[in-house]
A and B are shown apart, each in its own frame.
Chain A
Amino acid sequence: MEHYNMNLTLKVWKQKNNKAKGAFETYKVSGISSEMSFLEMFDVLNEQLVAENKEPIAFDHDCREGICGMCSMYINGRAHGPWHQTTTCQLHMREYKDGDTIVVEPWRANSFPVIKDLVVDRSAFDRIVAAGGYISVNTGNAQDANCLPVDKQRADESFAAATCIGCGACVAACPNTSAMLFVSAKVSHLALLPQGEPERKSRAVNMIHQMDTEDFGSCTNIGACEAECPKGISLENIARLNREYLGAMFSGSKEA
């Protein structure tokens, strides 16, 4: 693809802290290479702001290779921008043309309060995982791997669910701010394996309970989460979570 440079107008959400009322601020950036990633474009803007003695824009990022789930920008109405199954760090500037205006907002959900500018607090996800995303492993010597046979299809489905990076795009994209896709991925990846069997029922009940405690909205099967998930987590996981939960409730599993 032909390389080109572009000048852009950015409307970015600025918010001092959790309590402050935020507002959009308009910035101009010039000479942005089409080969830069979206975050690199933000780096250029921030260097420019620092040079001008202005406060840089706070945004989350870590690995910049699409696997950590930190970069959480809502770009022109889309979680992680317009590319399918892509995180913000993997969105490249060749998507945009010279003169474009880009609106960048933080994830918006009451369960993900804004910490500063584009950085939101996603610790609700950590608390959900802590409520049930674990397995029992006996101490002592490791068992022979062949004593726990795993069906190939289940292994594949479990792996597909385990690719969830907990970025929160599902919550951000959901009109209801439901966390069901995230919780379903976490429950599925353990429920499908023999290692996850001992806590299988209490896990579904406890993680759902924690999800409700965190005040996420309820799933109405709209499907925007699946469309925006950078890892392509399927709605089939939500169906599985519903089965796991119903099964646990009918067998009388209580919250721990």
Chain B
Amino acid sequence: MSLTGLFLILFLIVHCYINAQIFYNDGGVRFNEAAHFMGTNFVIRTVELGLFAFLILHIVQGLLLWAKNRSRRSVGYTVSAGNKTSPWYSRSMALLGTLVLLFLIVHLSKFWGPNRLSQTTGHGELPLYNMMKEEFSNMWVVVIYLCGCFALAWHLVHGFYSAFQTLGMGTHRYKGLIKGTGVAFAIIVPIIFALMPIAFYLQWIA
């Protein structure tokens, strides 16, 4: 979970950086350039295969872990400690992960899927910037994206710290740094992602 999670965190940084090019508000020139590079570069396309493998591995590992841990307490407690002994998001990683996955299915079917289909069938790349503009003029699409970012944020608050703790780095020297960086990452990255549909919907960028 830890290694695949860290790889997905690295992916989020790259994805966020590339997409943040829209905030130049230059009609999508820089964004399209970056998207063209990411969509056609041989190395990137190869890493993309690895990304899918890691994503699927992360999901499978997560589901197996969830099922295993659930099965270890056949008779549950009548009164539970709730949030008194642990934060809700730490106990809800499977649920949050499932929400992120549902969002991903919607997200990939809107942009990545049609674009790669068009490329492989010889129709070339699709105008992603214009597609974003069009999709994000629909309020419901924006709402789905905001929900996705919300679930991702809470998934990251626990996931970022947990990945390092599993690798044995949660020592008294680094624990605070890891937790702090994790919370900052879990706030900043999802907010930048969330601002993209909002910016298009409210026409902050054209």
Contact = CB atoms under 8 A, between A and B. Distances in A.
Contacts of A246: 167-168
Contacts of A178: 69
Interface of B: 1, 65, 68-69, 71-82, 84-87, 90-91, 93, 158, 161-162, 165-172, 175
16 contacts: A24-B78, A78-B84, A103-B78, A108-B73, A109-B72, A175-B91, A177-B72, A218-B69, A219-B166, A223-B90, A224-B81, A228-B81, A236-B171, A239-B169, A239-B171, A242-B167
A217 B68 contact: yes
In the complex, the 6 A-B pairs of residues with the closest C-beta atoms, listed nearest first: A243-B168, A77-B79, A176-B69, A239-B170, A242-B168, A227-B85
B158 A108 contact: no
A77 B167 contact: no
Interface of A: 22, 24, 74, 76-78, 82, 103, 105, 108-111, 173, 175-178, 215-224, 227-228, 234-236, 238-243, 246
Contacts of B175: 236, 239
Q: Counting chain B CB atoms within 10 Å of each CB, which of A24, A224, A234 scores highest?
A: A224
Given A108-B75, A110-B72, A217-B68, A239 B85 contact: no
A221 B76 contact: no
Nearest to B166: A242
A227 B82 CA distance: 12
B170 A235 contact: yes
B197 to A, nearest CB: 31
Given A78-B81, A176-B69, 15 more contacts: A74-B79, A76-B79, A82-B84, A108-B75, A173-B85, A175-B86, A217-B69, A222-B91, A228-B81, A236-B170, A236-B175, A239-B170, A240-B171, A242-B165, A246-B168
A220 B155 CA distance: 13
Nearest to B1: A220
A117 to B, nearest CB: 14
A220 B93 contact: yes
Contacts of B73: 108-110, 177, 217
Given A173-B85, A220-B90, A236 B75 contact: no
Contacts of B80: 77
Interface centre among A78, A110, A221 (most CB of B within 10 A): A221
B72 A77 contact: no
Contact of A220 (B69, B87, B169): B69
A112 B76 CA distance: 13
B165 A175 contact: no
B168 A105 contact: no
B165 A221 contact: yes
A88 to B, nearest CB: 15
B58 to A, nearest CB: 13
